[in-house]
Amino acid sequence: MNLTISGHHLEVTPALRSYVAEKLDRITRHFDQVVDIKVLLSVDKLTEKDLRQKAECNIHVKGKDIFAESAHADLYAAVDELADKLDRQVLRHKDKLQEHHHDSAKRTLQ
């Protein structure tokens, strides 16, 4: 699995890099067919101060690309929300794969 973390208008510190890697580790525990993860952390120049910190992620898993983004006043909170969104999407994708294989196994037995 390749993990790429980049920053736009901010420097990605080692603490921030390890925090993102720790949060995204949960996804690889739930679904082991993750090929590539690309994370983009950015600070937008918005008039609203509440949604300036933004985290985006593209995950390439076997058979599908998954995208999620999150904006928050705190970058760590944005990463938390992003990890939750990605986790739900990956689990939904995993369930669809398992249900599909389960249905085909039933058809071959009949």
46-77 pLDDT, tens per residue? 666 677 899 999 999 888 899 999 999 899 99
pLDDT of residue 17: 94
Mean pLDDT of 21-43: 90
Sorted by where each starts, the structural domains of the chain and their CATH numbers stand as 1-106 (3.30.160.100)
pTM of this prediction?
A: 0.82
- Owner of token pair 């669809």: 96
Higher-pLDDT residue of 67 and 106 is 67
Contacts of 33 (CB under 8 A, 6+ apart): 61, 62
Contacts of 82 (CB under 8 A, 6+ apart): 23, 55, 56, 57, 68, 69, 70
pLDDT at 4 exceeding the cut of 60: yes
pLDDT of residue 102: 59
